Amino acid sequence: MEVKLYNTLSRSKETFAPLVPNKAGMYVCGPTVYTYAHIGNLRSYIFADLLRRMLEYNGYEVTHVMNITDVGHLVSDADEGEDKLVEGAKREKKTPWEIAEFYTQDFMHSLEELNILPPTIVCKATDHIQEMLDFVKELYSRGFAYRIEGDGIYFDVSKLADYGKLSGQSLDELQAGARIEINEHKRHPADFALWKDAPPEHIMQWPSPWGPGYPGWHIECSTMSMKYLGKKIDIHTGGIDHVPIHHENEIAQSEALTGETWVNYWLHGEFLQVDGGKMSKSLNNFFTVSSLRERHFDPIAFRFMCLNAHYRTPLNFTWEGMSAAHTALQRLRQAYQQLPTSPDQPSPQLAAKFHKAINDDLNVPLALSYAWEAARSDEPGSKALLDQFDQVLGLNLNAAPLQQELPPELKALLEERNQARANKNWAQSDQLRDQLTSKGVTIKDSKDGTHWEYKPQ
RNA sequence: GGCGGCAUAGCCAAGCGGUAAGGCAGAGGACUGCAAAUCCUUUACCCCCAGUUCAAUUCUGGGUGCCGCCUCCA
């Protein structure tokens, strides 16, 4: 079945045609590891994970490459200012290397908690300095870049006729809309740094033909993508915010180097909003996987929430919505787990609908509705069908529900209530149940005894 | 100022020319000592105005509102 993907480059859905039959290479723009990854960042990686799983569901052998940016992100505009890693290091009184390592681990752990499959290759910018330098030297020697003394090597965007093709902005428009010029030495405001000179006190620096320095932000993606996936790649993903600057610049330098189209399909995920606006530390709405855990949510419930919306529409995060997702996930899992295991073949009709939905530019919300249909179906092969669906959804449908220990005092209350019930003292038993409910314990009496669910407030 | 996105039931959200998937919440019923859980049933004329069409939530034009990017950001 054909796979359709919305390509930012053409602003339309296109049928996916891989460079090599049955194989797909995808490069996922990874995080800059100077602070904790928040759930907005994570939405993007859930999207990339769904893409990868969908391709594998279609039988493609996927090479999934993700970078870790552990150097080179600059703080202020015009490629001036301090490296974010350096800034983080100063803040926490650690070396940039320690900062990067710490947050990389945290990030990888978050991916795991969200059931995001580990990329085939995870590559760090600092491990590819030589390759980046080679890349820059090549562009420089061929006249696509120029040096600003005492500053660095800049890419000359005017050397490319189609700069701006991804975001739909021409150089003229960029020029017209440019804010006050900071760096007067640049030939065009859109010119960007490939390599920066490092002042002596700069901790992360490497020798280069132009003296000690460090790489610009965009160069790592082009370099590592070409190293691991070749000069042309199938798919490149990232957040919608990367379209205008980062990806535009990646295209510029890459296509300048190879002289041909670099990426066939550009896919971008929309933002996660919080209470209708942007997530930021100052608004105190900066949430991480740990924040979810603190509120006793299964991180997969956040994944569920993301699956419920298409990756190209903004999704509004609220705790109310999180709660709804949590409830829905528990119910779906329970329904799945209560289905009988059967040797029968799954319903081909439903399987086909599901397949069609995910292949249609990842219409996962629709696919999810078919999962509900299967979960509530009497068809004999429904459980097997859901197993199949879960390869893409990644909701761990067979996960055991979180059984938490009941604190001793609540356990005692529960015992007391069971006594009261045995004595048919309904008034007392109901009163005890109210107490337990108010403490977050949900009581379920059944023929084979009393069950409970505990969710601390 | 430039570029882009979004507007569908109380909430989240698919669909995108032929009269609206799914989830959460709510209502009714079954079950229960009563509940909870579960199961069944049930809840929308799709921001406004104009146009195209036999037919528009779905296309075109114009509004209004919200969000994002143009400085690092998923």
pLDDT tens string A30-81? 988 888 888 999 999 999 999 999 999 999 999 999 999 988 555 443 444 5
Measured distance between the N- and C-terminal CA atoms of chain A, rounded to whole angstroms: 47
User: For residue A98, what are its two tokens?
Assistant: 């320690």
Is residue A41's beta carbon less than 7 angstroms from any atom in nucleic acid strand B?
Answer: yes
Q: Identify the helix (H) or strand (E) that includes residue A104.
A: helix A96-113
The alpha helices in A142-232, defined as continuous H runs, are 171-177, 219-229
Task: Supply angle C-alpha A257, A263, A265, rounded to 5.
Answer: 165
Q: What is the pLDDT of residues A131-164, one digit of tens each?
A: 999 999 999 999 999 999 888 999 998 888 888 8
- What is d(CA A73, CA A100) in angstroms, rounded to the nearest whole number? 12
Q: Parallel, antiparallel, or unpaired for β A233-239 and A23-28?
A: parallel
- What is d(CA A193, CA A255) in angstroms, rounded to the nearest whole number? 16
Residue type, A312: R
A321 and A273 Cβ atoms separated by less than 8 Å: no
User: For residue A161, what are its two tokens?
Assistant: 């006729």
What's the pLDDT score for residue A403? Answer: 57
| Segments of chain A with pLDDT less than 70 | 72-90, 172-184, 280-283, 400-404, 455-457
- What is d(CA A190, CA A54) in angstroms, rounded to the nearest whole number? 36
Is residue A309's beta carbon less than 7 angstroms from any atom in nucleic acid strand B?
Answer: yes
Which nucleotide comes closest to A42 if you measure CA to C1'? Answer: B74
Sign of the dihedral through C-alpha A429, A435, A436, A438: positive
Is residue A216's beta carbon less than 7 angstroms from any atom in nucleic acid strand B?
Answer: no
Q: Parallel, antiparallel, or unpaired for β A152-155 and A145-148?
A: antiparallel
What's the pLDDT score for residue A76? Answer: 41
What's the pLDDT score for residue A158? Answer: 87
Enumerate the nucleotides of strand B whose atoms come under 7 Å of any protein CB: 1-7, 11-15, 21-25, 32-40, 66-74
Burial-class residue A181 by CB neighbours within 10 Å (0-12, 13-18, 19+).
exposed
What's the pLDDT score for residue A79? Answer: 44
Which nucleotide comes closest to A182 if you measure CA to C1'? Answer: B71
